[in-house]
């Protein structure tokens, strides 16, 4: 059973067209929810960590939010350089390793 599910699997947007990526999770004792960006042939690049429901964090055109069941990554007025795979991961109670979703492949067309 998947513990971290990301949707959509792929998303194609026009430059400037805002949207949101979803990450739903079913874990007990959430210790942290992480968002990463991954470019082809590269390692995941850290974006945000969220710890509790209601928490929000922003960085440039990205804003991450967290509820008790899911997290959203909002992308405002995206640019082509925002094209990447966005990964969500959770750290649950008693675990040392992150549990990752399969990612959302985002393409921003000029």
Partner 1 sequence: NAGVMQNPRHLVRRRGQEARLRCSPMKGHSHVYWYRQLPEEGLKFMVYLQKENIIDESGMPKERFSAEFPKEGPSILRIQQVVRGDSAAYFCASSPLRAPTGNTIYFGEGSWLTVV
Query: Interface residues with partner 1 (CB under 8 A)?
Result: 4, 31-32, 34, 36, 41-46, 49, 51, 87, 89, 91, 95-103
Do the Cβ atoms of 95 and 27 come closer than 8 Å? no
How far apart are alpha carbons 71 and 35 in whole angstroms? 9
Q: What are phi and psi of 80, to 5 degrees?
A: -55, -30
Residue 42 CB, nearest approach to partner 1 (Å): 6
Distance (Å, whole) CA 54 – CA 68? 8
Smallest distance from the beta carbon of 76 to partner 1, in angstroms? 23
Least Å distance, CB 43 to partner 1, is 4
Cβ atoms of residues 90 and 33 within 8 Å: yes
Q: Give the integer Cα–Cα distance in Å for 62 and 82.
A: 10
| Of 3 and 76, CB closest to partner 1 | 3
CB of 27 to partner 1, least distance (A): 13
Torsion of CA 51, 36, 47, 80, to 10 degrees: -140
Q: By C-beta, is 36 or 78 nearer to partner 1?
A: 36
Nearer to partner 1, 50 or 75 (CB): 50
Q: Closest CB to partner 1 among 11 and 32? A: 32
């Amino acid at each position: 059973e998947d513990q971290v599910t990301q949707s959509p699997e792929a998303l194609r947007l026009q430059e400037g067209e805002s949207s949101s990526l979803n990450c739903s999770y079913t874990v007990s004792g959430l210790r942290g929810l992480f968002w990463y960006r991954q470019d082809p042939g590269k390692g995941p690049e850290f974006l945000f960590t969220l710890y509790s429901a209601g928490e929000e964090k922003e960085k440039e055109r990205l804003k991450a939010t967290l509820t008790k069941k899911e997290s959203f990554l909002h992308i405002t007025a995206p640019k082509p350089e925002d094209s990447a795979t966005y990964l969500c991961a959770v750290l649950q109670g008693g675990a040392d390793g992150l549990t990752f979703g399969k990612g959302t492949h985002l393409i921003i067309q000029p």
